[in-house]
Amino acid sequence: MSRKAPRILVIEDERAQREPLARYLQRTGFGVVEARTGEEGVDALGQGDFAVMLTDLRLPGWDGLEVIRRARLLDPQLGIILITAYASVESAVEALRLGAHDYILKPLILDEVGSKIAKLMEHREVLQENARLRGALQAKNREKGGLVGDSKAMEEVLSWVQRAAMSKANVLVLGETGAGKEVVARALHSSSSSGMEPFLPVNLAALPEAMIESELFGHEKGAFTGAEQRREGIFRSAGKGTVFLDEIAEMPYSLQPKLLRALEAREVFPLGSDSPVPFEARIMAATHRDLASMVEERSFREDLYYRLNILPIRVPPLRERMEDLPGLVHHLLERQARELGGGAVGITPDALRLLLAYRWPGNVRELSNVLERARVFAGGGQIEVEHLPVDLRDLEQDRLNLQAAVERYERGHIASVLKLCSGNRERAAQELGISPATLYRRIEKLGLKGFETGRGDSQT
């Protein structure tokens, strides 16, 4: 099934200008609607879907600036070009401020018009793909408790999370710094029967050793200098929720027996108290260090290690699940828009390819920092290659790595579409905007043969 030709609205009161332009656009494959006044043009916008609008500045009734103002309210993604024979810095700047993407001077050079429209169409396709990905990711994230990624590695993490959510056993989350250990712990908590109860994270590496026992187990009034009132401590404050002990390897050796006893007896001794107090919270812990080696070195208690390690979940580093990176990028940009304001921004294919070529030693946290910095430099527009750090831009010189990254992205994207289309190649080809024959060749080249029937190695 062929796709419907994109439509362009031409608003021009001079017939000698309007009709040749319309004929040129029709020859290049667009559907064209003509309007003679601003009012006619805005009415047409309200009744149909257009990819691009070309409007003259001087029109009977509403002028081009008023048309742009109203068009932008009707369709935020509409590509807009101002046409004028009365060019001035003021009118051009005002048109761009109101939402036009470009302007062009009369007499029109048709090839120049075609070039500008081609750029706008590419920009529109990127925006639409970003919106589609954001919608699909949001739906998937709701199903996965906030976890982002369809790779085989993340599917395994999700499987462990779902199994652990049905149990009250202690969980140990393992993974490199910045890999998303707390995100996994929160997803597990939200998927469990205690998902509406508190989730209280505590970073043991950030607490002074003298405060850890009081923070975890609480204290009585007067238990030590400065203890002017009784405090419950995190274990009891969490109620029936979850206590997340991040950086558990930094727990002082002298306090490890007290933590072990709390886990085994399900009760704590607040500082200054002779009587134990029960707690109901589930305990999860996380570390980027090798606890088994620390046990051998006798810097971490073996009995505590086994008590914490009842249900271990390993979070893979980003370099082991690079097919998840495009989805992570859109998820992080969406989250930053909510938290930092300024609206959601997209990313160009070239910039995304550079992100795919990088090894990400700092994992998802580093990716988030890079995107936040790029948002600032992009100034609210698309993130381009030039907005990325220099060390990433230098990767453009390494064509072999970049080509491999492109193929990783293409493989993950095609696999995702096949999955969404239940393995139907014809539907998948239509969604991808390519012919079935091209899709068959890409499936063969990228090693996806059998995926659509459930026999292949799913990396989505």
How far apart are the C-alpha atoms of 7 and 194, rounded to whole Å?
52
- CA dist 353 and 131 (Å) reads 19
Q: What fold characterizes domain 320-453?
A: Helicase, Ruva Protein; domain 3 (1.10.8)
380: region left, alpha or beta (phi > 0 left; psi from -120 to 50 alpha)? left
* Contacts for 216 with CB less than 8 Å, ≥ 6 apart: 202, 233, 234, 235, 243, 259, 262, 268
| Helix pair 15-27, 110-143: axis angle to 10 deg | 60
Per-residue tens of pLDDT for the chain, all 460 residues: 445 778 999 999 999 889 999 999 999 989 999 999 999 999 999 887 898 999 999 899 899 999 998 998 888 778 899 988 765 656 777 787 787 888 888 888 898 899 889 888 877 776 666 556 555 544 554 444 568 888 888 888 988 998 888 888 899 999 999 999 999 999 999 888 888 899 999 999 999 988 899 999 998 887 787 777 888 899 999 999 999 999 999 999 999 999 999 999 999 999 888 899 999 999 999 999 999 999 999 999 999 999 999 999 999 999 999 989 988 998 899 888 888 877 668 888 888 888 988 889 999 999 999 999 999 888 877 898 889 988 777 765 554 455 666 677 777 788 878 878 878 888 888 888 888 888 888 888 777 766 554 444 433 3
Q: What is the CATH number of domain 7-134?
A: 3.40.50.2300
CB atoms closer than 10 angstroms to residue 133: 19
Cα separation of 389 and 346, whole Å?
Answer: 17
Domain ranges (residues) in the chain: 7-134, 152-316, 320-453
Q: What does the DSSP 8-state code read for residue 223?
A: S
CA dihedral 118→119→124→125, nearest 10 degrees, is 70
pTM: 0.57
Q: Do domains 7-134 and 152-316 have the same CATH topology?
A: yes
For helices 436-445 and 425-432, angle between their N-to-C axes, nearest 10 degrees: 100
- Cis peptide leading into residue 252 (ω within 30°): no
Superfamily of domain 152-316 in CATH is: P-loop containing nucleotide triphosphate hydrolases (3.40.50.300)
